[in-house]
């Protein structure tokens, strides 16, 4: 039996009528730019994230770019981040004029290590971008006071973590709730995915929200009047309609991902070669990815491929070692926990529609490889 890494057709089959109805409302109205669905989705995502404001934009990349742009970085200004993430996190820092400063991760959660952030703060540091990787929030209770003490902006890249939460000071706090800004991606493969690109920023800061709304519309609050040079980065009305139809399912989908993750972990636990992902007890992990650490990873990957089991390596080359950042001068060996992760991780199929039989096929294929 073939098991795809992701099966968006199976998801679509389950919600087709709702999604098509929502799309046809927009099509019949022929109102594709900044239609009412955009504001409606912003209200819903702000509510989900316990945020005062949500601002739709064209992608998860732009959701990072816009608040970074609002920092008005000067040449030489530094923004500390994790090298174990999708490229967009650091690309956005570079493209808004900042210098990314990469620090190591906590090997158990794969998220940025707060003590490494503290050690990297310099007089040029302006901000920190944490990534809630694979659907599990970073240690906000440690990062937040650090940023506040030094007057740094704190951006939460929650592209993979919409609806995830963490107990901070005894209270559940949502991904995106605590930072200066939190950012989401609606890329089709995300837990809440559109039918194309899309993104959203959440913030508690009224003035920042107003600036972000301007920046996404070429820097003008009034049409044809521009206070600053911004971007064309709107969320499509059609995407907002699709996402609004999907949003009521998100909590159930996250639960189903969690159940599948628990089943994998039960099967792998106690096995010498397979290290399941650690879930910090303070976190409600939404399992955007189920990522194990294994020896002989590349051979396992070939074995899974031969068995028809979908898989992926997120991420095979950490960002401090990317050719485009060679000028920053990082060497292999400098960020050991990150480099150990990039050499040993592999992500397995996890989605709400994954059947027991499909999951058994994945588990058997992994365990068969290690005997």
Ligand X SMILES: Cc1ncc(COP(=O)(O)O)c(C=O)c1O
Per CB under 6 A, the list member of 11, 49, 89, 96 interacting with ligand X is 89
Contact status: 7 vs ligand X (CB under 6 A): no
Count other Cβ atoms within 10 Å, centred on residue 370.
15
**291 touches ligand X (CB under 6 A):** no
Torsion angle, alpha carbons of 57, 19, 28, 43, to 10? -40
Shortest Å, Cβ 136 to ligand X? 12
Nearer to ligand X, 159 or 365 (CB): 159
What letter does residue 113 receive in the DSSP assignment?
Answer: P
Q: Toward ligand X, which CB reaches closer, 11 or 239? A: 239
Could you tell me which stretch among 53-61, 75-83, 121-129, 237-245 binds ligand X (CB under 6 A)?
53-61
CB of 130 vs ligand X, minimal distance in Å = 10
Nearest to 150 by CA among 79, 50, 75: 79
SS3 48: helix
DSSP string, 290-338: EEEE-SSHHHHHHHHHHTTB--B-S-SS-GGG-GGGGGG---TTSSHHH
Contact pattern from residue 152 through residue 171 relative to ligand X, giving x for each residue in contact according to CB under 6 A and a dash for the rest: -----x-xx-----------
Report the alpha-carbon distance of residue 334 to residue 331 in Å, rounded: 6
Q: Closer to ligand X by CB, 84 or 264: give it.
A: 84
In the complex, the smallest distance separating the C-beta of residue 155 from ligand X, rounded to whole angstroms, is: 11
> Residue 185 or 359: which CB sits closer to ligand X?
185
Question: Which residues, 213 to 242, sit near ligand X by CB under 6 A?
Answer: none
Nearest to 130, CA basis, from 118, 120, 143, 148: 143
Query: Do the beta carbons of residue 119 and residue 103 sit within 8 Å?
Result: yes
Question: In whole angstroms, how large is the CA radius of gyration of the chain?
Answer: 21
Instruction: From 83-91, 261-269, 318-326, 359-367, give the range in contact with ligand X by CB under 6 A.
Output: 83-91
Using CB under 6 A, pick the residue from 11, 99, 125, 185 that binds ligand X.
Answer: 185
Q: Quote the least distance from Cβ 328 to ligand X, whole Å.
A: 19
61 near ligand X, rule: CB under 6 A: yes
- Residues 66, 233 contacting (CB under 8 angstroms): yes
Which segment (23-31, 86-94, 244-252, 321-329) binds ligand X by CB under 6 A?
86-94
CB of 186 to ligand X, least distance (A): 7
**Residue whose Cβ sits closest to ligand X:** 60
Binder among 131, 192, 240, 261 for ligand X (CB under 6 A): 131
Residue 121 Cβ vs ligand X, minimum distance, rounded to whole Å:
22
Among 11, 49, 81, 85, binds ligand X (CB under 6 A): 85
**Contact window for ligand X (CB under 6 A) among 56-64, 136-144, 274-282, 301-309:** 56-64
Helices 237-246/36-48 angle, 10° precision: 40
The overall longest dimension of the chain from CA atoms, in Å, is: 67
Element (H, E) at 148: helix 140-150
| Cα–Cα distance for residue pair 361/264, rounded to 1 Å | 11
286: closest CA among 168, 175, 130? 175
Residue span binding ligand X (CB under 6 A) among the ranges 43-51, 55-63, 275-283, 354-362 = 55-63
- Least CB distance from residue 344 to ligand X, whole Å? 20
Closest CB to ligand X among 187 and 330?
Answer: 187
Question: Helix-strand-coil percent breakdown of the chain, rounded to 5?
Answer: 45, 15, 40
Binding status of residue 268 toward ligand X by CB under 6 A: no
Q: Using CB under 6 A, list all residues that contact ligand X.
A: 59-61, 85-86, 88-89, 131, 157, 159-160, 185, 187, 197, 199
């Amino acid at each position: 039996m073939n098991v795809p890494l992701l099966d968006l057709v199976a998801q679509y089959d389950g919600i087709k009528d709702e999604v098509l109805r929502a799309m046809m409302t927009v099509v019949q109205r022929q109102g594709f730019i900044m239609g009412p669905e955009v504001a409606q989705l912003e209200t819903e995502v702000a509510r989900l994230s316990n945020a005062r404001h949500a601002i739709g934009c064209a992608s998860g990349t732009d959701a990072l770019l816009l608040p970074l742009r609002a920092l008005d970085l000067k040449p030489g200004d530094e923004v500390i981040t994790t090298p174990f993430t999708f490229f967009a996190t650091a690309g956005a820092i570079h493209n808004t004029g900042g210098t990314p400063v990469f620090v190591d991760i906590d090997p158990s959660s794969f998220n940025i290590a707060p003590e490494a952030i503290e050690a990297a703060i310099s007089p040029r540091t302006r901000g920190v971008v944490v990534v809630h990787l694979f659907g599990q929030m970073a240690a906000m209770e440690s990062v937040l006071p650090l940023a506040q003490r030094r007057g740094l902006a704190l951006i939460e890249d929650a592209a993979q973590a919409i609806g995830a939460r963490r107990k901070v000071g005894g209270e559940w706090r949502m991904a995106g709730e605590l930072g200066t800004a939190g950012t989401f991606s609606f890329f089709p493969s995300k837990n809440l995915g559109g039918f194309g690109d899309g993104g959203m920023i959440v913030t508690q800061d009224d003035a920042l929200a107003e600036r972000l709304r301007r920046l996404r519309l070429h820097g003008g609050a009034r049409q044809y009047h521009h206070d600053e040079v911004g971007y064309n980065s709107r969320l499509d009305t059609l995407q907002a309609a699709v996402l609004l139809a999907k949003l009521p399912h998100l909590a159930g989908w996250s639960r189903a991902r969690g159940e599948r993750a628990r089943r994998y972990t039960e099967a792998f636990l106690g096995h010498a070669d397979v290290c399941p992902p650690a879930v910090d007890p303070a976190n409600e992990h939404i399992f955007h990815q189920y990522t194990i650490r294994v020896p002989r990873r590349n051979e396992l990957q070939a074995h899974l491929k031969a068995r028809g089991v979908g898989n992926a390596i997120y991420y095979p080359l950490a960002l401090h070692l990317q050719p485009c950042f060679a000028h920053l001068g990082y060497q292999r060996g400098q960020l050991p926990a990150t480099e150990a992760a990039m050499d040993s991780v592999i992500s397995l199929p996890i989605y709400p529609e994954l059947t027991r039989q499909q999951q058994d096929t994945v588990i058997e294929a992994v365990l068969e490889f290690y005997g």
